Amino acid sequence: MFLFAFNATKKQQNTSTTVFSKQLLRFMTGILVLITGTLMLSINAQAHEYKVGDIEIIHPYARATMPQQTNGASYFNLKNTGQRDDKLIGIESTIAKTVEIHTMEMNGDIMKMRNVSEIVIKANNAITMKPGGGYHIMLIGLSKPLKAGDTFPLELEFERAGKLEVMVRIEATPIDGAMTEHSH
């Protein structure tokens, strides 16, 4: 009787050890997956940068479009690491008939887009483009729909730093994104 009880306790201990190590293994695997994922992401982000003179273009991307959509938009971060102001004065692409620099501002309740001829990037400063406000690159008359996973070239011209070609990555559009942002 006494022996039996002892055995039972021992068995329980073994089981709980097994359960514990299984959980630990799962936890460790989870951590590993997380670390690997983070590493790959940061390598990806680092690889997607372009530089000409003091100007850096970081992560140029565009939102995927629907087949019937004729216009699209591209965004990137602009950085001027130099001691003098520079200007983005020209932009071209084979992906669209016309490429324009737009700003988007709230005018009361109405979102208004305006075509501007240049973007000034102040010395030691950065400009972040993102959907929903501020600057974006408008692609008017797309030669083909923008498909997530594809890339297309964008030729940028800066007054001081000169010309730079970047590859724009097309990213999936969030469900409610495209319609509200880029209906002219």
Residues binding Cu ion (CB under 5 A): 102, 113, 138
Q: Rounded to the nearest whole angstrom, what is the least distance from the CB of residue 66 to Cu ion in the complex?
A: 16
112 contacts 136 by C-beta, under 8 angstroms: no
- The encoded tokens of residue 45 equal 């982000």
* Cβ proximity to Cu ion, 114 vs 122, nearer residue: 114
Amino acid letter for position 84: R
Q: Rounded to the nearest whole angstrom, what is the least distance from the CB of residue 104 to Cu ion in the complex?
A: 7
Residues 6 or more apart whose CB falls under 8 angstroms from that of 137 comprise: 73, 74, 75, 76, 91, 99, 100, 101, 102, 129, 154
113 contacts 159 by C-beta, under 8 angstroms: no
* Cβ proximity to Cu ion, 135 vs 158, nearer residue: 135
Q: Rounded to the nearest whole angstrom, what is the least distance from the CB of residue 73 to Cu ion in the complex?
A: 6
* Cβ proximity to Cu ion, 113 vs 127, nearer residue: 113
Amino acid letter for position 153: P
C-alpha span between 135 and 100 (Å, rounded): 10
* Cβ proximity to Cu ion, 7 vs 115, nearer residue: 115
63 contacts 146 by C-beta, under 8 angstroms: yes
* Cβ proximity to Cu ion, 79 vs 102, nearer residue: 102
Q: Rounded to the nearest whole angstrom, what is the least distance from the CB of residue 47 to Cu ion in the complex?
A: 28
Q: Rounded to the nearest whole angstrom, what is the least distance from the CB of residue 70 to Cu ion in the complex?
A: 13
Residue 96 C-beta-side C-alpha neighbours within 13 Å: 24
